[in-house]
Amino acid sequence: MKQTRAPIFEAVKKHSNNKIIPFHVPGHKGGGGLPELRDYIGEHLIAIDLTCMPDLDNICSPKGVIHEAEKLAANLYGADHAFFLTNGTTQGIQAMIMSVCAEGDKIILPRNAHKSALGGLILSGALPLYINPEINEEFGISMGITPKKVRETLEHHPDTKGVFLIYPNYYGTASHISEIVEISHSFDVPVLVDEAHGAHLKFNKDLPISSLEAGADLTASSTHKLTGSLTQSSMLFLQKDRISPQKVKKVLNLTQTTSPSYILLSSLDLARKQMAIYGEKLVERAIEISHWIRSQLMVIEGCKIFGEGIVGNPGCHDYDPTKVTLNVQGLGFSGYEVESILREKYRIQVELSDLYNVIFLVSIGDTWENAFHLVGSMKKIALQKTYNGTPRPFPPLPKIPKMIMSPREAFYSPTKVINLENSVGEISAEPIMVYPPGIPLLCPGEIISQEIIDYIGILKSENADLQGPIDQGINKISVLTNCNFLDKMQIT
């Protein structure tokens, strides 16, 4: 296929150059209706903020330039079908779950799945079978789930409709996806992959294998995170025949706007073209920069970076060096503190921080100059080192609470807000996540135990980052009304 073409971008350019008079939406009519924005972002950009029309195709049932562009993307990534998304990988993840699960169907997923997976569970009515990811105590991060646990769960629940994976994870660790795919397919269960952090994998053989190459059935990939398209633009890929493309399209049409941004669609088209032509070179350069940053940061006293050595630990079969996860415990700072010093003093914004780590994301857009600035800044921060002693590790996570009803039932049930300390036996209406390692202690529909309340108390006293509930101090929690299981379940 002619990967040097960009059908959507070519069509919008042609449309805009032809100076077609717009008696159609969007109402800014080429920028005249919002001159302040037009003057800042420029005439060209606002002129291609167009809508579906015959020469530009229709995303709900593409037959023209969107169809052509999606075919080119499928061809490049080695899929049978590609679907362009203008509501991020979130939209792709929800569609993946809804494509394989109806109300009451079971799906296996890691406990630390992104919140869009919870959205997919609520929208579909599916019942989650959670597997806890492995934890790396040294870095305080979660890894992948193991093939062994996937097999055991499938043996207990052979009626499972899908296995959902995060691959690779935010920290750049990658589970043994080929083995998980082989096991799942031996039960004739499709594998759905959240590849939000893996759109670049295909373009370098030293990176972990891409999920499509490993045989995954459906993969949602954040093109915007790593391969150059604009924020909010992602792709969903389908291969093999366990899931029908018509079903995926039908599901996408439920949540997708009927007015997709042609700026976003053009950026997907051009990102695909660029990766087809220059992808290997661009990714190689990003890897080179990230290896150099790693080599410089790992010799700073008090800093630790995981590399090859982490491979082979439970839940980690490979790793992606372009996610530079720097453990700063030994400097006496939390990851949050390093993030804020880098931002305020050195004009550097990191991708993510947690109690122990900061993550520097290196991609095809980075420069050596920025890499030098980052390393120089971290060296200066390390000079302020205050470390004196080993920080206390968090106690092991409590076991996954019992699920009394599906996330969907919990979402649609009436709720009330009560004091956390009085909530034993109640059913949670909201999730509570702890960072690190980014794993929910509670999900909607699960029963609250004294063990969970005590654990939250410990985390609060350690100033851990707890997220999810409406009450940010986590003194109150939203629970379902008239649903206390204390007597029935004999929970202490």
Ligand X SMILES: Cc1ncc(COP(=O)(O)O)c(C=O)c1O
The residue range among 19-27, 82-90, 118-126, 308-316 that interacts with ligand X, by the rule CB under 6 A, is 82-90
Radius of gyration of the chain (CA): 24
In the complex with ligand X, the residue whose CB is nearer, 140 or 198, is 198
CA distance 202 to 233: 18
Least distance in angstroms from the C-beta of 133 to ligand X: 12
Shortest gap between Cβ of 241 and ligand X (angstroms)? 26
Alpha helices (runs of H) in 260-334, residue ranges in sequence order: 262-297
Among the listed ranges 76-84, 89-97, 285-293, 299-307, the one in contact with ligand X (CB under 6 A) is 89-97
Which CB atom, from 90 or from 267, has the smaller least distance to ligand X? 90
173 in contact with ligand X (CB under 6 A): no
- Does 90 engage in binding with ligand X (CB under 6 A)? yes
Residues 219 and 199 sit within 8 Å (Cβ to Cβ): no
- Nearest CA to 93 out of 126, 70, 66 is that of 126
Residue type, 327: N
The residue range among 4-12, 84-92, 210-218, 359-367 that interacts with ligand X, by the rule CB under 6 A, is 84-92
Q: Which one among 7, 88, 120, 335 touches ligand X, defined by CB under 6 A?
A: 88
Asked if 130 touches ligand X (CB under 6 A), the answer is no
Three-state DSSP string of 445-487: CEECCHHHHHHHHHHHHCCCEEECCCCCCCCEEEEECCCCCHH
Peptide bond into 396 cis (omega under 30): no
456: tokens are 């939250």
Q: How far is the CB of 170 from ligand X (least distance, A)?
A: 6
Within 106-125, which residues bind ligand X (CB under 6 A)? 114, 116
Which residue, among 322, 397, 385, 393, has the nearest Cα to 356 in the 3D structure?
A: 393
| Residue of 98, 101, 127, 196 interacting with ligand X (CB under 6 A) | 196
For residue 355, give both structure tokens. 């109690």
Q: Are 71 and 239 in contact (CB under 8 A)?
A: no
How many residues bind ligand X (CB under 6 A)? The answer is 12
Task: Select from 77, 170, 319, 333 the one that contacts ligand X (CB under 6 A).
Answer: 170
Is the Cα torsion angle 297, 299, 301, 303 positive or negative in sign?
positive
Cα separation, 432 vs 466, whole angstroms: 7
Question: CB-wise, 116 or 204, nearer to ligand X?
Answer: 116
102: Cα within 13 Å, side-chain hemisphere: 2
CA dist 118 and 125 (Å) reads: 10
Minimum CB separation of residue 350 from ligand X in Å reads: 14
Residues 386, 441 contacting (CB under 8 angstroms): no
Query: Looking at beta carbons only, is 112 or 449 nearer to ligand X?
Result: 112
Q: Nearest-CB residue to ligand X?
A: 88
- Contact stretch for ligand X (CB under 6 A) within 75-83, 86-94, 145-153, 308-316: 86-94
Among 49, 57, 194, 318, binds ligand X (CB under 6 A): 194
Residue 23's contacts (CB-CB under 8 Å, 6 or more residues apart) are none
Residue of 154, 166, 174, 191 that binds ligand X (CB under 6 A): 166
The nearest distance, CB 197 to ligand X, in angstroms, is 6
Separation between Cα atoms, residue 39 and residue 6, nearest integer Å: 27
Using the minimum distance from each CB to ligand X, give the nearer residue, 357 or 478: 357
Query: Quick check: 478 and 430 in contact, CB under 8 A?
Result: yes
Please identify, using beta-carbon distances, which residue of 114 and 149 lies nearer to ligand X: 114
Report, in Å, the least distance between residue 173 CB and ligand X: 12
Of the pair 7, 168, the CB lying nearest ligand X is at 168
What would the x/- binding string for ligand X be over residues 325 to 364, using CB under 6 A? ----------------------------------------
Nearest to 430 by CA among 473, 483, 470, 475: 470
Q: Which is nearer to ligand X, 175 or 222 (CB)?
A: 222
Per-position x/- string for 212-251, each x denoting binding to ligand X as judged by CB under 6 A, each - no binding: ----------x-----------x-----------------
Buried b (16+ CB within 10 A) or exposed e, 95-134: bbbbbbbeeebbbbbbbbbbebbbbbbbbbbbbbbbbbbb
Name the residue nearer to ligand X (CB basis): 220 or 429.
Answer: 220
* Binding-site ranges for ligand X (CB under 6 A): 88-90, 93, 114, 116, 166, 170, 194, 196, 222, 234
